[in-house]
Amino acid sequence: MGLRNITATATDAANNVSASGKVLSVMIISEGDFSANNVLTPNGDGKNDYLIIKNLELYPNNSIRIFDRAGRLLFNVRGYNNDWDGSINGSPLAEDTYYYIIDYGNGVKPFKGFITIIRRK
């Protein structure tokens, strides 16, 4: 569930009266609203070069953690912007499957998934 502040205005045209106020809007989001590519082929061709999480822009306080098969934390960032290219500190990771957890930062159930890196020339 996402929460947003919005301004609502009501108008009574018959009496020429209007009023505005802040309202807390609740967006009901299901797990199906979150998805990600599960193959990364970071070769610069513009296709599957980055781990892209659908609807992530709605959650600017998000964080992502990426782990290897042994459960070691490889990557951890707050405010992920769909820009991870399969490298850590500028060094490309080996072809393998990696696991991630996205925390949306607002009470939405964390999204878990995997990404397989394939390096082809």
Quick: pLDDT tens for 44-87: 898 889 999 888 888 899 999 999 999 999 999 999 999 999 99
Residues 48 and 117 sit within 8 Å (Cβ to Cβ): no
Q: What local confidence, expressed as pLDDT, does residue 29 receive?
A: 44
User: Which is more confident, 108 or 35?
Assistant: 108
Q: What is the spatial distance between Cα 79 and Cα 55, in angstroms, rounded to a whole number?
A: 13
Q: What local confidence, expressed as pLDDT, does residue 87 receive?
A: 95
For the chain, the average pLDDT equals 82
User: Percent of the chain, pLDDT > 90?
Assistant: 44
Residues 54 and 73 sit within 8 Å (Cβ to Cβ): no
Strand, helix or coil at 57?
helix
Residue among 66, 73, 51 at smallest CA distance from 103 = 66
Q: What local confidence, expressed as pLDDT, does residue 17 receive?
A: 73
109 confidence band (pLDDT: 50, 70, 90): confident
**Dmax over Cα atoms in the chain, in whole Å?**
70
Strand, helix or coil at 89?
coil
Delineate the domains of the chain, giving CATH numbers in brackets. Answer: 31-117 (2.60.40.1270)
State the DSSP code for 107. S
Q: Is pTM beyond 0.85 here?
A: no
